[in-house]
Amino acid sequence: MEKLRVGVVFGGTSREREVSFAGGRTVYDNLDKNLFEPIPLFVDSFGNFILLNWEFVYKGSIRDFYPPADMIPESRHDFQIYAESLGQLDGQDQLKLINKIGAKVEPGALASLVDIAFLCLHGNDGEDGRIQGLLEYLRIPYTGSGILSSAIGMNKAIQKSLMGNAGFNLPKFISFQRKDFFDGNISNIYSEVLTKIGFPCVVKSANQGSSLGISFIKEADESKFREAVEKSLFIRIVKMEQWDAMSFDQRIDYLRELCDIRDGIGIPVQIGSRVIIHPEELLSVLNHLFGEREKEVIIQSLDAEDTVLVEGFIAGKEFSCIVVQDENGKPLALPPTEIRKGMELFDYRSKYLPGLSRKITPINLPDDEINHIRQQCESLFMALHFSVYARIDGFITAKGEVLLNDPNTTSGMMPSSFFFHQAAEIGMNPSQFITYIIRTSLACRISDFKDINKLPSMLYQLDEALSSQQKAQLKKTRIAVILGGFSSERHISVESGRNVYEKLSSSGKYDPVPVFLTGSPAEHIMYRIPVNILLKDNADDILEKIHHYTVHPVIRDVINKAEGITSKYSSSQNIAEPIRITYENLAELVDGVFIALHGRPGEDGAVQEQLQRVGLPYNGSGPASSRITIDKYQTNEMLAKHGFLVARHCMALQKDWKKEKEVFYKDIVSLFSFPFICKPHDDGCSSAVKIIRNMDELEAYAKLTFRDDAMMDEQSIRRLSIGPKEEFPSRKAFMVEELIVANGATQFLEITGGMLTSYDEKGNRSYEIFEASEALSEGDVLSLEEKFLAGEGQNITPARYSKDLQENRMISTQVKVQFEKVAKLLNIEGYSRIDAFVRIYNAAKVEVVFIEVNSLPGMTPATCIFHQAAIAHYKPFEFIDKILDFGFQRKLKQPVLN
């Protein structure tokens, strides 16, 4: 049958555009390719609809491709910008930007392009009813709630009034307007908060999501209250003494945070009557104003908030609950999730970076209290006239009182979001849940549009296709996706594994089987896990669920109530009990393996040896090559021996440190001048990679690395600025490396480049070296967030070696030649990622300084190896398919090891 064309609408004009972009990519990838044709519809900073060229869907951040790299103005301090920093562009100028990434689509032409719109937009113009109204006018069906309920779901102040009138329990609250702040009424409002609400309290923007513009105030303090109000209104007041006290670098860092659309107020901004569109311009203006001895400067975002909400702090368990419509149109609350976080607020990073928070499903309460939460969420779903699905947040107090405080008509749709997390508890993987959302939305729009022709026909077509798919017994290749591990990289491994699983499960070719690996180097312990465990928040949660596996009575009850949904879209295997398996069991269970592990085990060859022993094909390099590349010191030694440039390096050993600390430190500083790099020699993902600037920091690094227990010294943590959730593995050795600098080069870049291997007609291995990505870091080294969190950091692909196109190609070719030589020397197979620095003096003199080689690159949705594969015309699934195919071909050439 003809597939339904699903327009995935993502991006947008709001501060939440990066969450929307990442969620849209998740939906685009997980659409069942047997049922749907995905159409990527990107909404840019100016509100244009763009039929996006598919390769840009796989960029890690909007800033990676829009505005296009060759249209970004020079920035002396490498500030990262969105398209609005280009200024007030007219239609023709906007079209020049658009034509580099796709084709502009006028709203009136959308109906000829898509059959239904899957809305992944967040915030203004996405969740507030505006896009829903446009689509209804155009008679294009869309997912989720309608116009009125979307508008209600967006405005927290209006929500509160309607919920209170409907009899729902609410925390004490007041709201006030932006005008009150500028009229000097904050002292009066503070007094009102003292008498009506009290402290602690929460101050938040009324029309923002993803915990943007929110503050928690523990105790009565008018100055802190004023700062919180400024944050919610996206205002910053900078005082002269504050600016004067900053060093130049501190001012740059301050402006990076200020101009960030998540942590700061964004840009463009306004100072007085002047509109400032670029961080460089803002730096210049502030320097001038404070140079003129201006006492304070008020900076306002042009994308400002008009209403502030102040709520009494609720002492209790925080939860989030997805409510869906069942096959009869009635609301069904899925098992609510308890949010356990390291800070008082569930902030942006806690929501979207693996390992920074914990999601406990169902919430840890007696059954009757869990069901009370569910009943309240279902009631609110009906009271606010929501449809299809919603995410409702709230608290439950120690006395069992449920207070709902944030109903959302659009949920985050990143792989670890509540949206997929709770659907997995009833046995639906992301692809199946998305199909359910589309089908249910079509049914709702028939009623909304009063359509008796087109939409019923579309619904019938989809039902027929679903029925045919259920009856068909398609022969698929079974692939075990091994994820997890026991290193500091286990959470990222889970993200990589989930992403590979999801791309395989929606492909129609493969039947992926998730396998979680734990244990120790001496014993690999593996479990076949169901999708509800796979979609737990991080590796530690997965392991805990495996070790204490039970089906909670409330979840069992919800599964039974959802049977009308799940029987149509999923299978019972999705909620089967985890089973411990051996490598021998794995060989009977699957046809091949995708190793999604990072660090040890996985990249060290240990898993590969076991898979070869039982005769299973797998991805990536073989055991011998992996044992070399896992060890950065050994890799560098081998490369240096064969004439490649590497950073000057040495090993620092625990035994030497324990023997004589003063001699240990003296030996290091005699070889390297500050600053230099310290890092684990057999770990990755920026784990414990630090620039060391002085002896205090070196002592702190050695003390933390060589510690004998899990506890970390607080003074050392402060000296190295280690974050509250940052892992710092203990080791018996670490690597010291010179800090790579430009060394007089006219152009100096940090790059990361991927590759793919295949067999030619004669059976010889050949290498396809991708265009490398230029990695831009906002700190000393690329952070975990910049590598793997959607919207963080920036990767320009291909790397910008030169402004001259011919010269750029020449330099790129030289870099690729060097990469291929390294790959051949290290016997890289399947695929790989190599990190390096490039010094460019001129087209004839290019130096590539190699840093590390990754035999199992990260495969998270935001990782840049997918950007590079896209330039080589491989969609992510096609890239993964090529990787697997090489493993199968290699297996045919190798004897089974006994």
For 803-829, the pLDDT digits (tens) are 899 999 999 999 999 999 999 999 999
For residues 280 and 77, give the distance between their C-alpha atoms in angstroms, rounded to a whole number. 8
pLDDT surpassing 50 at residue 10: yes
Q: Which residues contact 65 (CB under 8 A, 6 or more apart)?
A: 56, 59, 101
Q: Determine the pLDDT at residue 343.
A: 47
Model confidence over 120-134: pLDDT tens digits? 999 888 888 999 999
139-143, 500-504, 724-728: least confident range: 724-728
pLDDT of residue 571: 74
Output the six-digit token pair for 362. Answer: 């169902």
Mean pLDDT of 308-314: 91
Which DSSP string do the residues of 695-745 spell out, in sequence order?
A: HHHHHHHHHHHT-SSS---HHHHHHTT--TT------SEEEEEEPP--TT-
State the pLDDT confidence band at 729, using cuts at 50, 70 and 90.
confident
Q: What is the pTM of this model?
A: 0.86
In the block, tokens 């405080």 appear at 405
Q: Is the pLDDT of residue 346 over 80?
A: no
d(CA 548, CA 529): 13
Q: Which residues on neighbouring strands pair with residue 37, listed in sequence order?
A: 5
What local confidence, expressed as pLDDT, does residue 352 receive? 47
Residues 6+ apart with CB under 8 A from 215: 202, 203, 204, 227, 228, 231, 232, 345
The fraction of the chain above a pLDDT of 70, given in percent, is 94
Q: Report d(CA 778, CA 575) in Å as an integer.
A: 42
Range from 321-330, 657-666, 685-694, 753-762 carrying the lowest mean pLDDT: 685-694
pLDDT above 70 (res 452): yes
Establish whether the linkage from the previous residue to 171 is cis, with ω within 30° of 0. Answer: no
Helix (H) or strand (E) holding 168: none
Q: Is the pLDDT of residue 789 over 90?
A: no
- How many Å separate Cα 716 from the centre of its chain? 29
Q: How many CB atoms lie within 10 A of CB 522?
A: 5
- The DSSP H or E segment spanning 54 is none
* 526-578 pLDDT, tens digit each: 999 999 899 887 899 899 999 999 999 999 999 999 999 988 888 767 778 99
Banded model confidence at residue 210, pLDDT cuts 50, 70, 90: low
The total of other beta-carbon atoms located within 10 Å of residue 38's CB is 23
Q: pLDDT tens digits, residue range 752-786? A: 999 999 999 888 999 999 999 998 765 555 544 44
Q: What are the tens digits of pLDDT across the range 479-490?
A: 999 999 998 889
pLDDT over threshold 60, residue 350: no
Where is pLDDT greater, at 194 or 153? 194
Mean pLDDT calculated for residue range 86-109: 95
Three-state DSSP class for 759?
strand
Distance CA 630, CA 55 (A): 30
pLDDT tens digits, residue range 233-260? 999 999 999 999 999 999 999 999 999 9
Cα–Cα distance measured from residue 35 to residue 507, given in angstroms and rounded to the nearest whole number: 11
The overall average pLDDT reported for the chain is 90
651 pLDDT above the threshold of 90? yes
Q: Which amino acid is at 199?
A: F
Q: Is the pLDDT assigned to residue 640 strictly greater than 60? A: yes
Residue 193 pLDDT greater than 80, yes or no: yes
- Place 515 in a pLDDT band, splitting at 50, 70 and 90: very high
Q: What is the distance between the terminal CA atoms of the chain, rounded to a whole angstrom?
A: 49
Mean pLDDT over residues 333-351, rounded?
67
User: Which amino acid, 281?
Assistant: E
Please report the DSSP string for 548-570 in residue order: T----HHHHHHHHHTHHHHHHH-
* Whole-number pLDDT of residue 262: 81
Please, are residues 426 and 332 in contact by the beta-carbon 8 Å criterion?
Answer: no
Q: What is the three-class DSSP state of 779?
A: coil
Cβ neighbours of 581 (radius 10 Å): 18
Work out the average pLDDT over 847-875: 92
pLDDT at 163 over 80: yes
| Helices vs strands, H then E, count in the chain | 33, 35
The DSSP secondary-structure symbol of 389 reads E
With a cut of 60, say whether residue 879 has pLDDT above it: yes
What is the pLDDT, as a whole number, of residue 472?
67
CB 180 within 8 Å of CB 232: no
Residue recorded with tokens 């120690």? 398
Q: Which amino acid is at 793?
A: G
Lowest mean pLDDT among 92-96, 149-153, 233-237, 249-253: 149-153
pLDDT digits (tens, 9 = 90+) for 400-414: 999 998 888 988 888
Q: Give the per-residue pLDDT at 158.
A: 85
The percent of residues above 90 in pLDDT, for the chain, comes to 72
Contact 133, 160 (CB under 8 A): no
Q: Which residues are CB-contacts of 871 (< 8 A; sequence separation ≥ 6)?
A: 55, 770, 771, 797, 798
| pLDDT value for 778 | 52
Structural tokens at position 141: 């069906």
Contact yes or no for 885/829 (Cβ under 8 A) = no
Interatomic CA distance for residues 95 and 104, integer angstroms: 7
200 upstream amide cis, omega within 30 of 0: yes
Q: How far apart are alpha carbons 494 and 7 in whole angstroms? A: 29
**So what's the pLDDT on residue 468?**
83
pLDDT at position 795: 77
Distance CA 876, CA 882 (A): 10
Structure-block tokens of residue 319: 């939860």
Give dist(CA 40, CA 92) in Å, integer: 22
Q: What is the Cα–Cα distance from 596 to 155, expressed in whole angstroms?
A: 41
Residue-level pLDDT at 896: 53
pLDDT score at 117? 97
